Each structure stands twice: as C-alpha cells, then as structure tokens.
Structure 1
Amino acid sequence: MVNENNITIICSLPDPASVNIVEKLRFMRNWRPVENNCFKAFRFKRFTIVEIEGHHIYQDDLDTRLEECGIGSNLIIFASRHSGKDGRKILTVHTTGNVNEAKFGGRACELAVPAPYAIRNLIRSLKSMCKDSSFEATLEATHHGPSNLHTKSLFIEIGSTRTEWRNDTAGKIVADAILMLHQDEVPVAVGFGGGHYVSRQTKLVCEAGIAFGHIFPNHQLPLLDRDLVKQAFLKSGADFAYFDRKAMKDDVRRNLAGIIHHLGYDVLRESDIREMAGLPFEMYTQFQQKVKKLCTNCKIRFTETIEQELKSACKDHIPAIMFSKIDPELLSMAERVDRNRIEKLIERESIAYLEDENGRFSHILISLTDECARRVAEMLTLECINIIKENYQVRFDADKSQLAVTVRRFSPQRAEELGISRGPLFGKLARGKEVIINGKTIIPDMVYESIEKIIKLKNPRI
C-alpha cells in the first residue's frame, strides 16, 4: 500500500461535471473548512477539496501553489468533464502531458507524473459501479495539460455532453470511487498503441495484476523520441512496456522496441502480463530467470496460496525457491485421463507449476520450502498412479520401483492386413467403432493390440 495520507480533489467552478462530482462528495461526507489565504478548501479525513476559478488543464505548478498555502498532498485528482463528439455516456480516467505542442494546457513535450496505482483502482471501481447504469468506463491515453506538476496526478471525468456532466448517477459513481480509493502496489507499464480510448490497456488493468502510467495511442507514436519515452518510463515509475501489437504499424513498433530496449526495459506480451499474477516485477523477473533454466518454453502458473505468500514477501528480496519433479511419463498419462483431478490437487497447495507451450503440465513443481516441494511431488505421484490404476491394468514392481501399465492401442498394420486402407473406415476403427468391408464386420478388438508400458518411479526430488 502506498502513502495515501493526503489526497487533493480539484474542483473547477466553471466546469459543471467537476461541480457535480464535488457536490456529491460534500453531500456524502461531513467536510470542514480548511483555513488558508489562497483557496476555498474543505477537508474530510485524508481528502481535501480545493475550488479553483480556472480550468483544470491550465493548472501548471498548482501543486507548488497549494504547498505554499499549506495544502500539500501525495496525489491530486482533477474532477473534470470529458468532451466528445460521439456523445458517449462515459466515465474516464487518464494522466496528462503533451508529446508535441501544448494546444490544451501544459508545456510542449512534457509529461506529468502519473499515479498508476490510483488510476488502476479508480477505473476498476468505475467499471464495477457502471454495470447497473447507462454509463461505460474506460482509460484514456495521455493528453492535454497540466504537465508541470511534481506531484502525482490524474483526471477522472464524466462525458460527453452537458446532459451527462450534470447527471446525478454519474456524479455519485465518481464520488464513490474517489472515497473508496486505495492504492495497491502492482507492476507498472507504459502503454503503446490503440485508440484514444485504450481498450486493451483498460482490459488488462481490470483483469490482470498491473497498472499503467503513461499510455500513448497510435496517432502519437510517430512523435515519440528517446527523450519522451525515457521521460514516460521515469515519471511513471514503470517496470516494462506493453504494446497493443495488432493496432501498431510494424515499422513504428520496431522503432519503439529498439528505443525501449536501449533504455533497459522489456516489452511484455499480454500472456506474460497475465502470467505475472500481480507479483512485484523484480520478484517475478528473478523467479522467471530461475525457471527458464529448467524449462525454456514453459509458462509459470501460480496457485492462489503461493501467490499470496510471494506478494507478502519483501519485493526486493525473492524468497528461496525449491524445485521438485515427478516422472513426466506418469504425469502425461494421468493428465490425458483426468486433468481436472490433477488440477484440483495442485490448486489446494502452496506451489507454482509449469505448463509447456501446448498448455500441458510440465513435471516440475515449485515451492518456497523444500518440505512442501517434496510433499506435493509425492502426493501428485500417488494421485497419478491412482488415476492410471482406475483406468488401466497395472502391475507394480517394488524392487525395480516401476509401474507396468497395459495399454490397448490401434494397430494400423492389423487394419491393413484385414484389407482396410487409410481413409474414413480406417479412422472410424481407430476411434473404437466397428466397420463393414466387403460384407465382413471388423470390430475394434480385431485391430487393437495390448502393449506394456514401463514407467520408472524416480525419487521426486531434483
């Protein structure tokens, strides 16, 4: 949890949506006046409402002026209207800054300091509370001023026409989201690509354990140079970049990837982000590096229990990681019979496991203690044996520590000897169904053979 002691909400009096939101805030809580010689202000616990006469987008240096008046804060929320030609009933959250000239406040080629954790929490709250209303909620790309602020800031907006700006439901939803604000620390990305309403980034923030700082839409990408990209990463406190690849032109994507890698950051795909499970980025990276040494193309899957253990650990120090394994052939055979049963056993335990590029279980298990890794490997081995016993004829050789599993399988050679060539009838027999050829019925038993498969039961510890 980040420092949330002082949050300032800016109400622009000429802005009807801003006034609407602040009226709802003041109605919902008991605010007291804040004595100062500069602004009309009201406070409730960690929140301070400040009224200004001008428009939000032209408030460069506002945080400095507030501090000089004794109203400093950790976060500035600009409660604002959103204007759009499409007339959508929409609630938005975004950060500010200019990648080129400053037509609407701020300074040219300057980006504000985002509040990624707050933005994440607010858009998730808006999404949830919008479900029973006629409004939709989305993140927007970085745009307009102010940009010259050293305090973290964001805009939360009601759009897109005068009717919506004054809408009581919209005002209450936004006010509720602000009052419920909390800021959990998760990995932070800088986003590239998409339209102004960044749908892919919004989806990731709402469904995965990450936040976004600055987000740049397609039309801004050709304007980004090394200095702007570096500014975006540093001010966002970002760990990595995310590309909306399908929305980006190949040459633009390659150019930006080169800049980002030269600055020392990685570009993660959506699958990588979802795999991260909200763990601190440095911890996840170290975790991934150790795992890749064992299985290059595998993906990590975390059970809920180990996720919580890792999240509660110090983010700068990854806990010791212990590996164990079971016989891959044993696991593969059991998985083909009853994958759900294996999943249920795994999900009850404090472990992570690996899946190969085809989504099948790898035989490697990961835990934070040697005892847990060994115990789960032994339990899983026993469960796999039970699954196989229930579905196959099995002999156990204790002296050799091995299973002999009798498996029936289709024999193409036998089918061909009975006059069945490769084709529809061949396939039907292979699926265990009888066929008729030249008036003769061929049943599956005639073309199946029994073979004995030997599975060595090794010590489950690596």
Structure 2
Amino acid sequence: MTIIISNEDPASQNIGDMLQQIRDWKSIEVDCEKVIAAFEFKRFRLVEIDGLHIYQDGLDRQLEACGLDSDIIIFASRHRSKDRRQILTVHPTGNTKEAKFGGHPMELAAAAPQAMRSIFLNLKTLAKNEDFEVTLESTHHGPSDLETPSLFVEIGSSEQEWVDPVAGGIVANAILMIDNENVPVAVGLGGNHYAPRQTKLIEETGVAFGHIFPTYKLDDLDETLVRQAFDRSCGDIAYLDRKSMNARQRNRLTEIIEGLGYDVLRESDIREMDGVPWQFCLELRKKMNDICPQGRTRITESIKSDLKTACKSCVCPKVKVATISPELLREAEKVDRTKLRNFLDTHSIAYLEHRDGSFSHTIIGIDDDCARLVAEELTNECINILKEHYDIRYEKDEGILFLITSKFNPALARELGIISGPLFGALARGETVTVDDMTVKPEMVYEIVEKPIRVKNIYID
C-alpha cells in the first residue's frame, strides 16, 4: 500500500510529516526519476515525489519499474474550494468530457472503493471532536491513467487547514487504520459535488462507493463511460440519487445500466440489505428478478440475525422459496394489510412487494423447512383474517376455500315492486323498507355469493 506525498503540496507534506512521527519508518534506496525519498513500515510504503499529484498519469507503472509495485495507491493531498470550509475528503479520480486538472478526457482511474470506505469511516471517527467536516467527493481531476486502484484523501480548504497538524494527524491515522472490509460496491450517480446521499449511505450502511458522478455531469455519461465506471470500480450495483435528476436523465441512465447487466437500487433498497451478506443479497436479487422483476425485497431483522450465524467463511445457505395462493393473500390484504405485515415482519424470512406496494405471494427462507412452514402459517393467518369478515367454507380434499357473502340483488327488489332510488340504498345497507303496506326485509332481496380460492401450498426448489 503506497502513500504518495507531493513536494509541492503543503497539506501532503503535513500528512507525510505526521506519518513519520506516528510510526518508525525505514528508509529505502530507490533509483527512480520522480522519487525524492521512500520509506517502509510493515504493509505501508511512503513515497515522496517531485510534482503535483493530479498530473501523475502512469505513476503506478513508473513506480513498478523502480521496484515499488503496490496493491493500492493513496494520494495524500490538499483540497481547495472557494468557501474555505474545514473539510476532510475522500474520492476517486478521472474525467468525463474535459480534463482541466490532469488526466485525460473520458477516462477514469481504477478506484479503490473498499479502501475509500475504510478511510472515510476512520476520518469520521477520528474527527468526531474536531471542527472538520468529513465527506466523499465525486470523481474529478487527474490522474486518470492508473491501473492500480487509487484514491485521494484531502485536507481543505485553505492554507490554514493544509498545515494544521491536527488535520494532518487525523488523515495520517485514518490511512494507517485502513481495513479492506468486503462489502458491495456501488457506482453513484446524482447529487452535488460532495455527494451527500452517497456519503450518508457509506456512513450508515454496509456499502462502498467507487466512481461517483454529480448531476451536472450526468449528461456527459454515455454507455462507454458508464461501463468504464463499473469496470474501474469493480462495481456490483448502481445507486441513483433520483430526486437530484430529471426523469429523462433517470430513464436514460437506468436503460444503459440495466443494459450492461447491473441492478439500479434505490436508497431504500440499500438500507434494506444492510447487514445481509452480499452473497445472499446477490442470490436473493436474482430470485426476485425471476419472480417479481419490478418489485422490492423486504428482509426481516430475524433472518438478518440468522444469516450472521448461517453465513460462515463467505459461504451462505441457498435461497429457498415457497408460495401461497396469490388470491388468498390478495383477499386478506384487502381486509387487514397491517396484520399481514406484522406477521411477515416477525418471521425469519424475506418477502417481496410488487411495484404498487402490494405483497407478493412468495416467501423466502434459508432452509427448506423454514420457507415451507412460514408459507403454511401465512396461509392460516390469511384464513383467520378472512374469518373475521366473511363466513367461510373449506373443502379440504379439493384445497378450496369459499368466501361466503350476502349481496344485494337489484333484480329481486324490482320483482317486489321496488324501483331504483332511496329504497334501493336502504336495502343495500341492510335496512328493512315498506312498499305499499308490504314489508321487505334485506334477506328477501339478498343472494348468497361464494367466491372460491385455491389454498394449497406449492413448494419450489
């Protein structure tokens, strides 16, 4: 892991000095044109170069030629902005249409999402009692020609902060505390330059971000650049800050991303899968796309807890699916949706919702018995809900449940001399009426209606 210090950047020098103070680095001899000095400490290498970071295209290959190959390159740098806010930032590099500050147009450097997430979280922890804001930034400036995964970590935004030893110490420690946690990687689209929604998601959920593009650059993105963003981020999913873009941008990008074979997730989707092993999420989303392509997955807290035990050594149990009668579920949901949701949320399952928010008849568990038993219990729960509102008859051998209702029949009322009007309404409400000294009771103009519903469970491997 190589940390790059620039001799032309005061913030970089500050971070380099603090790194030297915190750890006992060993000087190493290097015959390399750009390298001023190099040091090593355990898994880290500290390299001071001649020149600004943003113009170091091809630096990874140059260092490798000097025997300084690396898995990750971390550029310790300054951050400059007009508002002069006290800020610590992390971001990948690259350009869309223009390359005003290093790199090449339409080129993205290889990002380091897991390392970027780790450093960001470390900065948040270390800066907790200081006056520095910690945030992601969207992808910008050079270098863009880097095959080795890289990131910038920066101190901003004025000369005062660049040389602040407190800021330098926070960044230095955040780098040394790096831990490459294996979490899903999203490519972020939308928002402003400081990517507030993506920043919040990294802070509050188990997701990492690779390349991030603000709303003002979305129209620069074509299929080639979107593909490059996923490839250079090793991305798993896309996250769209939907409220920050118009419908045209949203639809165009969704079509490109899905055409490349990636899922587009909402913030609620990412929060829903938080705490669930990514391997299980992948299988769950694949199953959902087969069963309910436009739907949403709901993962209960109980199954999240079970998965922590069940998923060992990165191996998770297979997704198991059972279904109940969609008609039965639909009728019960019409009557008491709240009771159904309470039932679903208190079992160790995942379940699906259609695009309109209604429940899918699919139950997902992590073993055969769980999915099947919950489907059976859900069937019984639906029947109990319907019993509270209907008379029912169950033909067990045929697996058919009949919902029995009394329904007002206008034709029967007309036969008794009652025409449309207020008397119709009274009878429909179950009230007795009088016509020409004749008493007409509701049961005289009502008919029994039986609605059949198949309720046999089906288990799917």
TM-superposed CA distance for 1:334, in Å, is 8.2
Sequence identity of aligned pairs in percent? Answer: 49
Structure 2: how far apart are the matches of 1:227 and 1:131?
40
Structure 1: how far apart are the matches of 2:17 and 2:318?
48
Structure 2: how far apart are the matches of 1:297 and 1:310?
29
CA contact (8 A) 1:334 1:384 kept: no
TM-superposed CA distance for 1:136, in Å, is 1.1
TM-superposed CA distance for 1:117, in Å, is 1.3
SS in 2 for 1:138: strand
Compare CA radii of gyration and give the structure with the larger one. Answer: 2
Q: Which residue of 2 is the match for residue 4 of structure 1?
A: none
Q: Which residue of 2 is the match for residue 219 of structure 1?
A: 216
CA contact (8 A) 1:142 1:216 kept: yes
Matches within 5 A, 1:60-99: 60-99=57-96
CA contact (8 A) 1:279 1:310 kept: no
TM-superposed CA distance for 1:324, in Å, is 6.0
Using structure 2 for the length normalisation, give the TM-score.
0.73
Q: Which residue of 1 is the match for residue 232 of structure 2?
A: 235
How many pairs does the alignment contain?
412
Structure 2: how far apart are the matches of 1:64 and 1:235?
17
CA contact (8 A) 2:321 2:362 kept: no
Deviates more, 1:203-212 or 1:64-73: 203-212
CA contact (8 A) 1:275 1:299 kept: no
Q: Which residue of 2 is the match for residue 20 of structure 1?
A: 14
C-alpha RMSD of matched pairs (Å): 4.2
- Aligned AA (1:9): I
SS in 2 for 1:126: helix
Distance 1:337 1:272, change over 3 A: closer
Runs of 5+ consecutive residues of structure 2 not aligned to the other structure? 402-421, 427-450
Using structure 1 for the length normalisation, give the TM-score.
0.73
- Aligned AA (2:143): P
SS in 1 for 2:154: strand
Q: Segments of 4+ in structure 1 off by > 6 A?
A: 329-335, 358-361, 378-389, 399-403, 456-461
Residues 15-68 of structure 1: per-residue CA shift (max 9 Å, x gap): 221122222222222222233333422222211111112211111221122212
Structure 2: how far apart are the matches of 1:20 and 1:9?
13
TM-superposed CA distance for 1:338, in Å, is 9.6
Runs of 5+ consecutive residues of structure 1 not aligned to the other structure? 1-6, 404-415, 421-453
TM-superposed CA distance for 1:207, in Å, is 2.5
SS in 1 for 2:94: coil
TM-superposed CA distance for 1:76, in Å, is 0.3
Structure 2: how far apart are the matches of 1:236 and 1:310?
29
Matches within 5 A, 1:366-445: 366-376=364-374
Q: Which residue of 2 is the match for residue 406 of structure 1?
A: none
User: Is structure 2 residue 271 aligned with structure 1 residue 274?
Assistant: yes
CA contact (8 A) 1:138 1:202 kept: yes
Structure 2: how far apart are the matches of 1:201 and 1:28?
31
Deviates more, 1:320-329 or 1:100-109: 320-329
Deviates more, 1:244-253 or 1:193-202: 244-253
Q: Which residue of 1 is the match for residue 350 of structure 2?
A: 352
SS in 2 for 1:366: strand
Pick the aligned partner of 1:194 from 191, 194, 208. Answer: 191
Structure 2: how far apart are the matches of 1:332 and 1:249?
34
CA contact (8 A) 2:283 2:319 kept: no
Structure 1: how far apart are the matches of 2:139 and 2:89?
12
Pick the aligned partner of 1:103 from 100, 104, 108. Answer: 100
Residues 280-330 of structure 1: per-residue CA shift (max 9 Å, x gap): 767535423434555566532233234436765767x97252436597477
CA contact (8 A) 1:187 1:278 kept: no
Distance 1:299 1:251, change over 3 A: closer
Distance 1:331 1:381, change over 3 A: farther
CA contact (8 A) 1:96 1:154 kept: yes
User: Is structure 2 residue 35 aligned with structure 1 residue 35?
Assistant: no
Distance 1:125 1:356, change over 3 A: farther
Structure 2: how far apart are the matches of 1:36 and 1:64?
15
CA contact (8 A) 1:92 1:157 kept: yes
